[in-house]
Structure 1
């Protein structure tokens, strides 16, 4: 009976805690914005943070220990540009987030209580995916880089078509106008040489005479 009571008491002591943790990871921050990763906590009597770890896709970029001297440790990680001056145990500030900042962010905390020789711990874990720009990531990037800002829907595109009226010369090639200032006019086909009427008649007569001579030669050969 006493053994059962001791086991129940130990289970109750290990399972009880007074801390409260509220973690905030933005699901879809705007491209180029500043992001706050929050781990707002309140410890119960005698409790303290033995270890806090922030990760992105399983890789650690910040650790913190409350005792003995509020020790921080930062690690360089692609896509995680930390503003260390603005960060604290309960807040990690990321500068100018882009595509590389998207991923799964997690925080793990080991909360300890008790005195030396009799310390009990409790673990808290949280994870949240973050997609920079959300479902309109491409639009967010485009708008942030356009001079003067504004929405994509408000942009007017003017298409200029080159044309020429009848009788005004050859049409201008638009591609040529962009690269060479306009296409050169095609050279005119050479005009056919004029044949005098008298010369044409003489040529026809000579052809007929040649045909007659050939016919006479063939008749003579066959006869």
Structure 2
């Protein structure tokens, strides 16, 4: 049996003492087991470019007619998109900033969401619809917050992530709820750490 391949994304502004990074690492390692099959991308230490006019023009040009300049405009996007397509599990370490996701993670989403690459519009005899093209992946979202309850009326992060990932075909999205992590006592933190191992074992 082939070992699962894992892509771990970090988006916390904290590079040390980060709950989301710690928990994501534990989950990724549990998913990988003894295999050296984890690809990591630190979206804060190595930020991705934002979408600009050159990107939009290139993305909406058919691949067969793209110029060298357009191919270069999509180079980083193609790199992160290929990373995504090449794994079985995606582990996203993200805090909740101002009730939503960090800009670093939004930049990654904007680069991997490409028409006719990770999703396509389908027009048939009925109403047009979108088909996601990123199949057979499990996405784990590790989300500590300063106390905002996941799923509450002021949580604008989890609903968006579930929708936009599903839009690209990633419908198996699982949240690791660490709301209020910094207020957890040691026993509760250790309990969540052990829970991650159990979740990975059952994946």
Q: TM-score range by the shorter chain?
A: under 0.3
TM-score by length of 1: 0.18
Structure number with greater Rg is 1
TM-score, normalising length: structure 2: 0.19
The structure showing larger relative contact order (alpha-carbon pairs under 8 Å, at least 6 residues apart) is 2
Query: Between Structure 1 and Structure 2, which shows a larger proportion of helix residues?
Result: 2
